Structure 1
Amino acid sequence: MRKDDCIFCKIANGEIPSETIYEDDMFRTIMDLGPASKGHALILPKQHYRDLCDLDRETAEKVLPLAAKIGEAMKKSLDCKGFNVVQNNGKEAGQTVFHYHVHLIPRYEDGPDMVSWAPGKADPEELKQTGAAIRSAL
């Protein structure tokens, strides 16, 4: 399914031009217009899924191998030392376009600090209660 009012559906299906670096029958991978680093790309499914929880099994099974393939190509061609695979779900998690997509962000030696956090401290009882709450919802 595609959504007529979704900009990522339009980009993924070639209705809006983009700098495409990879395309097959299920995905289009484009250069991000607001890159976090040189080479930042987005993997867009051609079908519309709001977020990870909406994704179908076939797409889910193919997206991470594709991310690895493109990430390896980034390391070879851009001389980056690694890459982040980032996928946001929901406004509070940083999702701004509600069409499932994956960010591939090349990371360079001595590059800026991004996609990181300071580890907090967890109380063992809180971990136990939180774990129980999540298990009960599965």
Structure 2
Amino acid sequence: MNTAALFTSHAPRDYACPFCELVQGAVPFSADNLCVPTDLVYRDELVSVLIACDGFGDHEGHAMVIPSAHFEALYDLPDAVNAAIAVMSRRVALAMKAAWAPQGTSVRQHNEPAGNQHVWHYHLHVFPRWDDDALYRQMRHRVPVDVRRAKAAELGAALAGVLTAEGLSSADVVAPPA
């Protein structure tokens, strides 16, 4: 089966990818980019982690694990990148537990417009969860930049701890200090 024939890009012809701009440090960002440099928590050659500009409910600070290179959807991810995203999502969930002490975590990912994808760069959401947070019944809302900066710093410090505990270098953590 030719899997490439099953997927067509939904990105506009001259798409300025907000996540690529963030990962590449392409400042100034395009006019439609809601990201700011302090949203970036971690970056290596395969994956990056950022604080989302949108929140749900009363608990701000969910993260997204993305490929550092541009891939639009799950369908076009190389296996090595997909595996790196899975490993990093576990590390981010552990960092959330250390930073914010949620009662649980959830992950979710969307592909194509009918799948509720809004940014044409693969991203896996990692949410801190609390009893009765009604995450899946909440409308999105914009998270202020200063809140995102603080959350990125908190998550980055906790992620550095997770990486160190696993015997790995924390040099790729880029989140600003709190």
What range is the shorter-chain TM-score in? 0.7 to 0.9
Q: Map of 1:17-32 to 2, 5 A cutoff?
A: 17-32=37-52
Please give the alpha-carbon distance, in whole angstroms, between the structure 2 residues aligned to 1:40 and 1:113.
Answer: 11
Letter in 1 for 2:107: V
Structure 2 gap ranges (5+): 1-13, 28-36, 138-178
Task: Say if 2:134 is the partner of 1:94.
Answer: no
Does 1 or 2 have the higher relative contact order (CA < 8 Å, sep 6+)?
A: 2
Deviations 1:60-102 (A, max 9, x none): 1111110000101101210101111111011011100111111
CA RMSD of superposed structures (Å): 1.9
Task: Say if 2:105 is the partner of 1:83.
Answer: yes
Please give the alpha-carbon distance, in whole angstroms, between the structure 2 residues aligned to 1:110 and 1:101.
Answer: 25
Structure 1 length-normalised TM: 0.74
Structure 1 gap ranges (5+): 116-138
Q: Helix, strand or coil: the match of 1:5?
A: coil
Q: Helix, strand or coil: the match of 1:110?
A: coil
**Higher-Rg member (1/2):** 1
Contact preservation (8 Å) 1:88, 1:95: yes
Percent identity, please.
27
After alignment, is 68-77 or 13-22 more displaced? 13-22
Shift of 1:113: 4.2
Structure 2 length-normalised TM: 0.58
Letter in 1 for 2:26: E
Counting matched residue pairs gives: 113
